[in-house]
Structure 1
Amino acid sequence: MLQRITDPALLVAASTLFGAVPSTTGHGLMARRASAALAMGRDADHFRKHIEPRILADLTQALIADSDRMTTTRAAPPRLIPVLREPAELPQDMWAWEAVEHEEHIARLWSGVYALRAELLACERLASFDPSAADLRDAADAALWRVGQLHVAIRTYRRAYGGRLLHGDIAPETLLALAGWSPPLDPDDVDIVCHHGPDAERCRIFIGDLTATEPGARIHARWHARLSTHPHTTDPDAWSTA
């Protein structure tokens, strides 16, 4: 939550105030406030009256934004229950077939969400301690592959059912954000990624086909550069030529 504060000086002060840095972890409020004031070159009284309210206001707005996002995103994965015996044969009925087909599409969408989320979490973990590691490059490649697969599933759903999820009444593209933050792709980028077959069985095949073209190589390099950036990274452009 503190990372939502965009002012670098205010971020340092907020992290110090809330004990998110080792120097103030476990200390009382007065000591943390004094350290935060010192970090901004102010006395504790000025910090309490004029700077601390700004920090609290920024965090309040971030919490409100999170609350709004959670209340307006009503998508949830389908509830699963154990199936302990062989299912009965579907009746020869168009409505039964359509219901199962829609559930199949929904399952593919959510499998894409969780597959992408796993790779994004791997990127976050690896970037936190070694942004130049080969493992991070592999994870970023896998994340780009998975985001392409999810876009393909979203397009397939849109062609079959339109621009809203039948159960949830939200745009299927909303599911991308539920997987976590990923580098933004504009519509042309999405077209290029989808064109190069991210639904291929192997990630390496997809990445090789994508980077064989200039636009695809550009998307790949930017994707890597963004996923390698971490608060502790000293050179966020280290992969700009990947």
Structure 2
Amino acid sequence: MRFQGKRAVVTGGASGIGRATALRLAEEGAEVLIGDLNVADGEEVAATSNGRIRFQRTDVTQAAEIEALMTAAEDAGGLDVVFNNAGAAGSRDRIDEISPDDWDRTMALLLRSVAMGIRYAAPLMAKRGGGAIVNTSSVSAFGSGMAPTAYSTAKAGVLHLTKVAAADLARHKIRVNAVVPGFITTNIFTSALGLEGQVRDHVNGMIAQTAAKAQPVQRAGRPEDIAAAVAYLASDDAAFVTGTHILVDGGMLVGTRASWDEDVPGLFSTLEAASA
């Protein structure tokens, strides 16, 4: 019960990683307030939590709604933990095709929302003598080919924001860290394609099969994998950890595919075979 007596806010808590994290924090004793645009699923999560989770409709592209979410947590007794997680794929256009408005909308959803989540949570945490903030980045922050350009850029920004915010807020005893998911099976991919119903479920199944072959750990990542890392970073177990990130990617970024897949020739193995 690492979060007994603690109060937490989770954005994007109606589904996927946010839902799994809200449930994990509540399971470990926290009172959780989730913010999301998905009212039906948000209320369903709250209804099945034995009163440990509450829901408030929140559009994280609107700073006033983020502020209202944090204020609601304060009014309920205080704020100790924030998980800035809400997001979607954003614009899928390449850099030579994207419109300024689509760029700005993606940044507002994925980067400005995190900045404003920190902005409005920090003063409330400072009043309580400190707290923990965790932000969701992505493996796409480290290179190309894993997500659209605007999404990847925003997620790289989240990592740097995490560092500088940790420095800014250290004087208030507020720790700021990030979690970096790899290939996690949620509806983020199918939602970006506008898929629903049986088609969405079929494509999700195909994604899970593909994900199981995308990294050294031969299975798809699960929202619960990320929730476990967030719970660690938000807890006193990580009291000496700030301004950094945890990769939860099944080893996707350990090296080229040739470094862990014996069926893929690498430079060293090719040279070794040639010299035999």
TM class, shorter-chain normalised?
Answer: under 0.3
Task: Give the alignment's TM-score, normalised by structure 2.
Answer: 0.23
Q: Which has the higher strand share?
A: 2
Which structure has the larger Rg? 1
TM-score after normalising by structure 1: 0.26
